[in-house]
């Protein structure tokens, strides 16, 4: 369930709405999300001088309500646990074709493209493996046994996902009836991009979409003197909440971080985290704490942040340098920062 709490924060003086913002905070896809819109984008030409501020504030809040509806819709379509949603239906169809929403179809297509690009390092059919792990429980944090893991791995193969489109009908089929889709590695990015579309279609030229590790910055930040880049930080791995390791100055960009500090447990002196190797089913082992991708698309950044972590620094850098206007920042287990050439905002 997505619960939306809307508050209005005022950051300018009386008589102007140039820097006033409305903010919504909620819980979606197991993540606290924060959406920010600026009242300057919701001023009507027909508003009187006396009602301009209140009208803009109401329209700003109404807009965030629409964003809430979008989030609720996508949570239902894309969650593995929402009975009757598209992904739930696919996973319980026992290998039969399932008609899905175009958005679900498009997202799965993007996920499969990244599975091919990464040669399976990113694989949306890893659901049988992720089902074996419980990184959220306060107790009973167990490492899956080998027999169960091998059985789960036998159903991980993105090549066995079939997409069909005909006459406006979109279908998805898992050729392995026991396979399970898990779009958690890319869904938040896709949703962020869709929310950005809603912002721009509504005429908004500024805004912040923060879906946990996915931050999408729209345009520039309004300030009294005009506009300026946004200031955003990369979380310090295993640091305090909101403790940053580096601060960036960015505009109109997506910033996505994947790290082992977000969901993990420690057992017998070893850390088990949620970024899993699709070949072994176990957490990826390397000297990296986190990867951050700056790009224009949050869906791309979401997939690439996971892929670059799984590939490691050398192969990850090589991949990113082959993709235009896309950059990576690594934080190593010694808290060293390594970036691709031209990394913006530093």
Is residue 134, in this structure, part of any structural domain at all? Answer: yes
Is residue 156, in this structure, part of any structural domain at all? Answer: yes
Is residue 293, in this structure, part of any structural domain at all? Answer: no
Closest C-alpha among 133, 135, 108, 112 to residue 122: 112
Is residue 233, in this structure, part of any structural domain at all? Answer: no
Phi-psi region of 137 (alpha: psi -120 to 50; beta: other; left: phi over 0): beta
Residue 102's domain comprises 86-174
Calculate Rg over the CA atoms of the chain. 21
Quote the pLDDT of residue 6. Answer: 39
Is residue 335, in this structure, part of any structural domain at all? Answer: no
Name the 3-class secondary structure at 21: strand
Closest C-alpha among 55, 26, 25 to residue 41: 55
Is residue 167, in this structure, part of any structural domain at all? Answer: yes
- Beta-bridge partner residues of 293: 256, 328
CA separation (Å) from 81 to 22, 37, 110, 194, 340? Answer: 31, 30, 21, 22, 37
Is residue 105, in this structure, part of any structural domain at all? Answer: yes
Is residue 292, in this structure, part of any structural domain at all? Answer: no
Q: Which residue has the tokens 């031209």?
A: 342
| pLDDT tens digit at each of 346 positions of the chain | 333 333 444 444 334 435 789 999 989 888 899 999 999 999 876 655 446 678 889 999 999 999 999 999 999 999 999 999 999 999 999 999 999 999 999 999 999 999 999 999 999 999 999 999 988 756 667 899 999 999 999 999 999 999 999 999 999 999 999 999 999 999 999 999 999 999 999 999 999 999 988 999 999 999 887 889 999 999 999 999 889 999 999 999 999 999 999 889 988 889 999 999 999 999 999 999 999 999 999 999 999 999 999 999 999 999 999 999 999 999 999 999 999 999 999 8
CATH code, 105? 1.10.3980.10
- Calpha distance 230→156 (Å, rounded): 40
Number of domains composing the chain: 1
CA separation (Å) from 104 to 108, 147, 212? Answer: 6, 32, 21
């Amino acid at each position: 369930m997505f619960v939306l709490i809307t508050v209005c924060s005022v950051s300018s003086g009386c008589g102007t709405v140039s820097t006033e913002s409305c903010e919504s905070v909620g819980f979606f896809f197991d993540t606290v999300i924060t959406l920010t819109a600026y009242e300057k984008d919701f001023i009507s030409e027909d508003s009187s001088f006396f009602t301009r501020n209140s009208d803009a504030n109401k329209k700003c809040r109404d807009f965030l309500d629409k964003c809430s509806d979008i989030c609720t819709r996508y949570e239902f379509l894309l969650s593995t646990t929402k009975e009757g949603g598209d992904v739930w239906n696919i996973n319980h169809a026992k290998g039969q074709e399932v008609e899905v929403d175009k958005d679900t179809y498009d997202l799965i297509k993007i996920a499969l493209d990244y599975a091919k690009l990464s040669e399976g390092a990113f694989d949306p059919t890893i659901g049988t493996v992720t089902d074996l792990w419980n990184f959220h429980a306060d107790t009973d944090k167990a490492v899956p046994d080998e027999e169960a893991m091998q059985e789960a791995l036998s159903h991980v193969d993105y090549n066995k996902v079939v997409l069909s489109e005909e006459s406006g009908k979109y279908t998805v089929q898992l050729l392995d009836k026991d396979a399970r889709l898990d779009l958690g590695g890319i869904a938040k990015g896709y949703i962020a991009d869709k929310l950005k579309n809603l912002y721009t279609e509504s005429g908004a030229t500024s805004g912040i979409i923060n879906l946990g590790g996915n931050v999408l910055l729209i345009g520039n930040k309004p300030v009294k003197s005009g506009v300026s880049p946004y200031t955003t930080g990369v979380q310090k791995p295993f640091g305090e909440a909101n403790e940053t390791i580096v601060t960036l100055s960015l505009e109109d960009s997506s910033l996505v971080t994947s790290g082992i500090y977000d969901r993990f447990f420690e057992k017998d002196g070893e850390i088990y985290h949620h970024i899993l190797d699709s070949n072994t089913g176990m957490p990826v082992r390397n000297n990296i704490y986190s990867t951050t991708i700056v790009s224009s698309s949050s869906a791309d950044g979401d997939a690439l942040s996971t892929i670059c972590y799984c590939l490691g620094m050398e192969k990850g850098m090589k991949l990113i340098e082959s993709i235009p206007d896309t950059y990576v920042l690594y934080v190593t287990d010694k808290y060293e920062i390594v970036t691709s050439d031209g990394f913006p905002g530093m």
